[in-house]
Structure 1
């Protein structure tokens, strides 16, 4: 296996926690109704299109047209977004900072809407400490499509086979491997430390 020269972090559920349910505990108090809402209205499939670059007014209008009685709930998704990212995953942040301090080439690659990532930058300044980030909402591509990994390699002048990707999603890990990268699935900071050690990287 090629020696790792570049380390790329995902953001959501690797460096910061993400939980849409947390933003709706007061908006839709009933757990079963909340589940129905996320399964049928503000779905993962709907939200991922904002990660691909669709703007929130268009996204909201689409749903309000289909669920006019749910307009308040639909608009609450963006309005309460800050509650969906309540805290950092401190062990991972510590690992990332140690890697940077030790001279490793660290970048980020994330599925994130353009405006919400910039909001996250304000709250979590460590998200700006790597050499740079590819934001899906800015480039109009999303993981696990091969094109976004190729875009990241070109943008940051990486050697694909010497690039390690860290992501919580098995699909995105597989996407990175299909693009010729090395990749590990993030479980928790201690597991990540062990995975890095197996690749000859001590943190």
Structure 2
């Protein structure tokens, strides 16, 4: 079945999301490894993605680990440096789909506060036909509920949706519902997938 809507994850699909890379630059790889081993920073970020207050959650976590207080606060104070740069070829695919009148949705684990920062920095985030942002929904991928709520809201069946994400667990959860899926490993492969579904010409990007 040809997809009737295309769904993009955002982090590492449209925008690079590499906190470890930022910390390697800021504090050095050895200290970064030590901090990440001691502090569940990605778990902290998941709480933000579920809707907890961005600054309060980061700063509260920093107080729990005083030896890393300044470094943990960087997650808030320098967040945009972790969520950068955009992936221009993926943005071009998003725009090419929209130019052809194909509905394009976002389904992303993103906090309320962090999405506001990202939207100001990356205007293309306003170009989706529908946006499903976990912080506003109170649930994150790969929880089945977030996929079910997208289906209910957009009115399309699972089989009519084509979804790309860089995380295999998120892809597996979508596939289990019957979505058509593509594990994102780079914009070239995603372009090939879209062409294979007859949605775009490969030369479009």
TM-score by length of 2: 0.91
Q: Distance in 2 between matches of 1:198 and 1:57?
A: 43
Q: Secondary structure at the match of 2:51?
A: coil
1:1-203 maps to which residues of 2 (within 5 A)?
Answer: 2-25=1-24, 27-28=26-27, 30-203=28-201
Q: Is the 8 A contact 1:23 1:81 kept in 2?
A: no
Q: What per-residue deviation string (whole Å, max 9, x for no partner) do you get for residues 154-176 of structure 1?
A: 22222221100011111111011
Q: CA deviation at 1:132?
A: 1.8
Deviates more, 1:135-144 or 1:48-57: 48-57
* Structure 2 alignment gaps of length 5 or more: none
Q: CA deviation at 1:40?
A: 2.1
Cα root mean square deviation, aligned: 1.6
Q: CA deviation at 1:31?
A: 1.0
* Structure 1 alignment gaps of length 5 or more: none
Q: Secondary structure at the match of 1:173?
A: helix
Q: What per-residue deviation string (whole Å, max 9, x for no partner) do you get for residues 4-53 of structure 1?
A: 1111100010011111134334542x311111212322521221111111
Q: Distance in 1 between matches of 2:82 and 2:119?
A: 14
Q: Is the 8 A contact 1:112 1:137 kept in 2?
A: yes
Q: Is the 8 A contact 1:9 1:106 kept in 2?
A: yes
Superposed structure 1 runs of 4+ greater than 6 Å apart = none
TM-score by length of 1: 0.92
Q: Is the 8 A contact 1:146 1:178 kept in 2?
A: no
**Distance 1:26-1:165 versus aligned 2 partners, 3 A rule:** closer
Q: Is the 8 A contact 2:50 2:134 kept in 1?
A: yes
Q: What per-residue deviation string (whole Å, max 9, x for no partner) do you get for residues 93-129 of structure 1?
A: 1111000000101111000111111111111111110
Q: Distance in 2 between matches of 1:11 and 1:41?
A: 25
